[in-house]
Structure 1
Amino acid sequence: MAIERYTSGKRQFNWFNLFMVVCMSFGSMSYGYSASIIATTLSQPAFLTYMGLDTRGNATSLISTMNGLYQVGGFLGVFSVSFFTDKYGRKVAIAVCAAICIFSAALLAGSVNPAMFIVFRFTSGAGAFMILSAVPIWMNEVVPPRDRGLLVDIHGAALLFGYMISIWIGYGFYHLESPHAWRAPLAFQALPPLILLCLLPLMPESPRFLLMKDRYEEAEKQLKRLHTPEEAAHELQQISNQMRVDRTLPSSYWIMLKKPSYRKRVLIALGTTCGIQFSGILVINNYGPILYASLGYDVPKQLVLLGGWITLAFGCGCLGVFIIDRMPRPKLIGLGIAGCMVCLIVEAALVANFADSTNAPALKAAVAAFYVYVVFYEMCLDGTQFAYLGELFPTHLRAKGELVSWLVRKKGFADIFVTGMNIGVAGICLMNIIWLQAAPTAFDNIGWKFYLCFIIPGSLAAVGIFLFFPDTWGVPLEEVAAIFGDVDELYAGNENDEIEMAKAKKSSATHIEAVG
């Protein structure tokens, strides 16, 4: 069945769209800073001495746990996001995530022993991955379809900005001669979520959430803030109509596994994020100093190389904003993973042959391979995955679904919810629990062969995504169901709706003429 798509004759983009996405990207920055600050913290001699990691026999295990439990916290935390997004709204969910990030940052900075540090790395991971999930949900639901990729990719650029400033702040405090120099960079991670909490009152609530709660007038008001009058009138009618259908559809976690088309979306979401994580990005980021140390560089040089790598990543992430809407999502993701795999093949070959040598050109080439790698990752993958995840699921599953309801009912607790976006973000956490927990031991014992754990599955993922994954580029969120064969879930329309639509367009045209 062909879908007749409405296209506004007016400009969808307006400057308020950009302003609100940039403001909300402080949440994205919160995740980026929180996830990356551990790299410089583990390179701080003052931190290693204070925590006894320079003398403990189990130091490698403790370092692995500091990274691994952060991801475990994220994996568990993302499944609570939908409770807040569905019950109280997208903005409230983001506020809760920001508060957890602030709380965790304060207690990480005040840690007095490895046990306390590990506990609050866990809560920090929960808050960071919750906000990583909540912000793109909001972004996807408020930006216009035509500019959705460009605007949502600002989320990815903001993540990278958080990565970048964490590295340079960590590098700056490395030169401070104090046994507590490591605390300030950890405390600084509270600043982006604090700024976000101050800006949240200025941000609109998702019109889709408002219509889910039958707050029609508020939704209409927000849509008029977000889009041109003609586009706002159309979206209001389209979303309202689709909501009538969505309310009749099951939204439990079980149905996401039982119904073939929903199951396909779940597998695509997990396949996308897990495939991208096979690139090994967080291993390179979090253990960058260890990797550069294996190539013979001292600590100051390790931090400079890591800072340069992250700065290049930020620049490429900004360029990625202008690339994301130039080609189909799966093609872009497949090409990006393939480019990363080529770089890791070169890296593995160089490390295998020259890691213990004094061959300066070969060692510099190994560093260059990491730098070329991050160009592919940031221009093709980082922001694209969040736009793609937000587009895969319909509204009633994007921010709603029951998780293990039988278990929580037996225990007498309230229902726990999972979102379509959360499934993808949980995939990121799950993969990184494996990689980050194993990496220190793997590099110590098998060296360059650990890269094969990324290269082989990553290459297969690149081919699979490129050839077989569906494209959602430019498709209105209310029409995604047709891609997966759920045409029966699309609002069919009737004569009365067509009359109302005509009235809305006429009203919009009158308004435009009056303003113009």
Structure 2
Amino acid sequence: MHSRMSDGVAQVEHYHGRQFRTYNILMLVIMAVGSFGFGYTNACMSTVLVQPSFIQTFNLDTRSNANDLIGMTNSLYFAGGFFGSLSSCFCSDKWGRRWGIAVPCLISTAAAALLAGSVDISMFIVFRFVQGVAAFTLLAAIPVWMSEVAPPSIRGALVNIHNFALLIGYSVSGFVGYGFFHIHNSRNIQWRGIFALLCIPNVLLLAVMYWIPESPRWLLLHERVEEAEKTLHRLHSAEEARIELIQIQCQLQIDRHLQSTYLSMFTKPSYRKRTIMAFCLTCAIQICGPLVIAAYSPTIYGLLGFDANKQILYTAGFFTVSIGGSLMSLFIVQVAPRPLNFAVGIILSLACLSVEAALVANYATTPESLAHPNHAALKAAAAMFFVFIVFLEATLGGTQYVYIGELFPTHIRSKGMAIGTSGLSFMNTIWLQAAPTAFRTIGWKFYLCFICPGTVAAILILLLYPDTRGLPLESVAALFGDEVGDNIVQAHEIKINTDDLSQSDQKGVIGEKEQPRAAVSLEHIEKTA
């Protein structure tokens, strides 16, 4: 613990030892089951689209508008995601972060069951939309809860558990699709089984939701101080929990009197700046095309000359190597400034797409190259996607959720995350509807639609975005010129009597023994309307 004496009272900064308890990690891992479910949901369509029974059931091999229908199965899922993202805050803000996760989890389970039982393409597309609403509500809600229960010193790494679990869901989805591809004469179990299995992670998360703690910041925002204090002491070390409790209360004295509507996020300049940054960040990352490549991996590998078996196997491999990138991000997010991290990640990803475009243009489009394929070049083109996804996940995939959660104060954090994730849905609604036709008509030139605007986005992020790495959530407001408690502005320092603090260190935490509370000076904190 770092402190300095002033008038007999120590100026104590955030605890520099271990700030979290094992219970904190356990709860984050359990909540990540929902992240796993989202990843599985998001990825499963890529392998479903090449299942022979799916194509035959909905006559996608004979319909004149097959490409449009295939595009709709993905684009309307993301259109639903756009509305799901924006609506995610209503339940989270009113009834708590846990309810904001449980409700879409239940809806996603029902949608998965109805997708598995679809009898025509119209029914399938409708429930893909519904599933998109539920899935992206989860995507927006889970990182908010994680960012509010993680301690500041390693918040980046802990919130990245969300993306790590999401990518495991992607990988499992790929191998499940590969397994079902080899089941024949099975009454459409090839594709129906893929959707039926989605119910499992959702049901598991719902079953344990009762034991997952509510966000202490949400509890304090609704003046449930005793519950928040107990929750903080269960999640974080005794020293950090006391300091964090006081700091959150200081900032909430201001925040709870401020407007928290969507309108206020566009009328108040500091909120508007955050909102535009959050939306543009996810749009910039999706300009790199990660979900286009993920959703249409089998199609892309097919255009490179690989058979259906390898198309699905390479897709599963693509999802699996992304986990390695996510593991790297757990360390990179702790040391790299956020804007530099995003800019370098986008440039590296686009460099891979530039190489991919060159390989496809020279070895997979001309009549001569198709008649006499260069197998080494085609394998290199397939491998380039693996390098692409490692770079992207190491720098962008999980860090975007960490950063958006850091940008916004507690009273509008769920709305901020909702707007951020809506950018992801917005971009992919456009990309995924156009992609099937674009890949088959303009081919390698489609990659230029990612490369050119993505380069501009990387430069703007590097120049305009602030670095929030390592800052307590309540201190980020100062970066945008918002009113904050004086104790928070002063390098997030809090006045605590050192004698009381050392006594409480010996007596343990709440729930073990009764302990004296540290004496805290809040004389400079004023309630502001």
Residue type at the aligned position of 2:52: P
1:422 equivalent in alignment to 2:437: no
Aligned partner of 2:438 in structure 1 is 442
CA distance in 2 between partners of 1:195 and 1:275 (Å): 34
- Specify the code of the residue in structure 2 equivalent to 1:123: V
Which residue of 87, 90, 98 maps to 1:83?
90
Are 2:334 and 2:469, in contact at CA under 8 Å, matched by a contact in 1?
yes
Q: Deviations over 1:277-309 (max 9, x none)?
A: 011001100000000000000000111111111
1:193 aligns with 2:192: no
Match of 1:484 among 467, 480, 484: 480
Q: Is the 8 A contact 1:207 1:220 kept in 2?
A: yes
- CA deviations on 1:190-218 (whole Å, 9 max, x unpaired) are 11111111121221100111111111100
> Partner letter of residue 333 of structure 2?
I
Match of 1:468 among 464, 470, 491: 464
2-side partners of 1:284 and 1:384: how far apart? 20
Unaligned regions of 5+ residues in structure 1, if any?
Answer: 400-418
Deviations 1:349-382 (A, max 9, x none): 1111111421111111111211110111110010
Paired with 1:179 and 1:458, the residues of 2 have a C-alpha distance of 44
Name the SS of the counterpart of 1:473 in structure 2.
coil
Matched, 1:142 2:145: no
1:54 to 38, 54, 61: 61
Q: C-alpha separation between the residues in 1 aligned to 2:499 and 2:75?
A: 57
**How far apart are 1:71 and its partner, in Å?**
0.3
Q: How many angstroms does 1:120 deviate by?
A: 0.6
In structure 1, the partner of 2:400 is: 385
Are 1:253 and 2:262 an aligned pair?
A: yes
Q: Is the 8 Å Cα contact of residues 347 and 458 (structure 2) preserved in structure 1?
A: yes
Shift of 1:515: 4.7
Q: Match of 2:64, SS?
A: coil
Q: Tell me the equivalent position of 1:273.
A: 282
Mark the CA change 1:84 to 1:515 in structure 2 (over 3 Å): closer, same or farther: closer
The residue identity in structure 1 corresponding to 2:383 is: A
Equivalent residues of 1:292, 1:302 under 8 A apart: yes
Match of 1:513 among 503, 506, 511: 506
In 1, Cα distance between equivalents of 2:40 and 2:143: 17
Q: Per the alignment, do residues 231 and 109 of structure 1 end up closer, same or farther by CA in structure 2, a change over 3 Å counting?
A: same
Check whether the contact 2:157–2:330 (CA below 8 A) recurs between aligned residues: yes
State the alpha-carbon separation in 1 of the partners of residues 152 and 12 from structure 2. Answer: 11
Aligned to 1:412: none
Deviation at 1:467?
Answer: 2.5
Secondary structure at 2:448's aligned position in 1?
helix
TM-score, length basis structure 1: 0.92
Query: CA, structure 1 residues 508+107, in 2 after alignment: closer, same or farther (shift >3 Å)?
Result: farther
- Cα distance between partner residues in 2 of 1:259 and 1:187: 45
Q: What's 2:295 paired with?
A: 286
Once the two structures are TM-superposed, the CA of residue 179 in structure 1 deviates from its matched residue by 3.4
Is the 8 Å Cα contact of residues 108 and 131 (structure 2) preserved in structure 1? yes
Indicate conservation of the 8 Å contact 1:73/1:122, yes or no.
Answer: yes
TM-superposition CA deviations, 1:400-434 (whole Å, max 9, x none) = xxxxxxxxxxxxxxxxxxx0000100000000001
Residues 61 and 54 (structure 1 numbering): CA distance in 2 closer, same or farther, change over 3 Å?
Answer: same
Q: Which amino acid aligns with 1:511?
A: S
Say which of 171, 176, 179 aligns to 2:187: 179
CA contact 2:238–2:508 (8 Å) conserved in 1: no
Q: What is the aligned length? A: 488
On the 8 A contact 1:100/1:124 being kept in 2, the answer is yes
> In the alignment, what sits opposite 2:233?
224
Query: Is contact 1:72–1:430 with CA below 8 Å preserved after alignment?
Result: yes
Distance 2:487 2:384 in 1: 54
CA distance in 1, matches of 2:349, 2:505: 48
Say if 1:245 and 1:443 are closer, same or farther in 2 by CA, change over 3 A. same
Residue 120 of structure 2 is matched in structure 1 by 113
For residue 46 of structure 1, report the CA deviation from its aligned partner: 0.7
**2:496 aligned residue:** 502
Q: Distance in 1 between matches of 2:381 and 2:207?
A: 44
**Letter of the 1:474 counterpart:** G
* Distance in 1 (alpha carbons) for counterparts of 2:27 and 2:352: 36
1:373 equivalent in alignment to 2:388: yes
| Cα distance in 2, alignment partners of residues 184 and 379 from structure 1 | 32
Deviation by residue 1:419-471 (Cα, 9 ceiling, x = unmatched): 00001000000000010011011112211111111000111111111222111
Tell me, in whole angstroms, the C-alpha distance in 2 between the residues paired with 1:231 and 1:509: 13
Q: CA 1:370–1:493 in 2, change beyond 3 Å: closer, same or farther?
A: closer
Q: Give the conservation status (yes or no) of the 8 Å contact 2:12–2:496.
A: no
What do residues 125-184 of structure 1 show as CA deviations (whole Å, max 9, x unaligned)? 111100000000000001100010010001010110000000100100000002312111
**CA contact under 8 A between 1:340 and 1:376: conserved in structure 2?**
yes
342, 346, 349: which one pairs with 2:358?
A: 349
The question of 1:36 aligning with 2:43 is answered: yes
Determine if the alignment matches structure 1 residue 158 to structure 2 residue 165: yes
Displacement of 1:508 in angstroms is 4.4
Equivalent residue for 2:106? 99
Q: Which one is further off, 242-251 or 372-381?
A: 242-251
Equivalent-residue separation in structure 1 for 2:501 and 2:314 (angstroms): 55
Taking a change above 3 Å as real, the CA distance of residues 107 and 506 of structure 1, as seen in their structure-2 partners, is farther
Aligned residue in 2 for 1:410: none
- Aligned positions of 1:329-344 closer than 5 A: 329-344=338-353
CA distance in 1, matches of 2:57, 2:248: 56
Asked if structure 2 preserves the Cα contact closer than 8 Å seen for 1:26 and 1:192, the reply is yes
Residues 1:325 and 2:325 are matched in the alignment? no
Rate the CA distance shift 1:493–1:381 in 2: closer, same or farther, 3 A: closer
- Secondary structure of the residue aligned to 2:496 is helix
Is contact 2:112–2:199 with CA below 8 Å preserved after alignment?
yes
Given the two structures, how large is their TM-score scaled by the length of structure 2? 0.90
Q: Distance in 1 between matches of 2:294 and 2:487?
A: 50
Residues 246 and 171 of structure 1: CA distance in aligned 2, closer, same or farther (over 3 Å) = same
Q: Retained in 2: the 8 A contact 1:334–1:465? A: yes
* Overall identity of the aligned pairs, in %: 49
What amino acid maps onto 1:490 in structure 2?
Answer: V
Aligned partners of 2:441, 2:304: CA distance in 1, in Å? 16
* Matches of 1:369 and 1:258, distance apart in 2: 44
Give the letter for the 1:179 counterpart.
R
How far 1:501 moved relative to its partner?
5.2
Report SS of the residue matched to 1:321: helix
Does structure 2 conserve the Cα–Cα contact (< 8 Å) formed by 1:47 and 1:179?
Answer: no
- Give the drift of 1:10: 3.4
Of 77, 84, 87, which aligns to 1:70?
77
Give 1:13's match in structure 2, choosing from 10, 13, 20: 20
Contact map agreement 1:154 1:318 (CA 8 A) in 2: no
Contact 2:87-2:418 at 8 Å conserved across structures: no
User: Deviation at 1:492?
Assistant: 2.6
- Is the CA contact 2:144–2:417 (under 8 Å) kept in the aligned structure 1? yes
Pairing 1:128–2:110 present: no
The 8 Å contact of residues 41 and 170 in structure 1, kept in 2 or not, is answered as: yes
How many Å separate the matches in 2 of 1:9 and 1:453?
Answer: 46
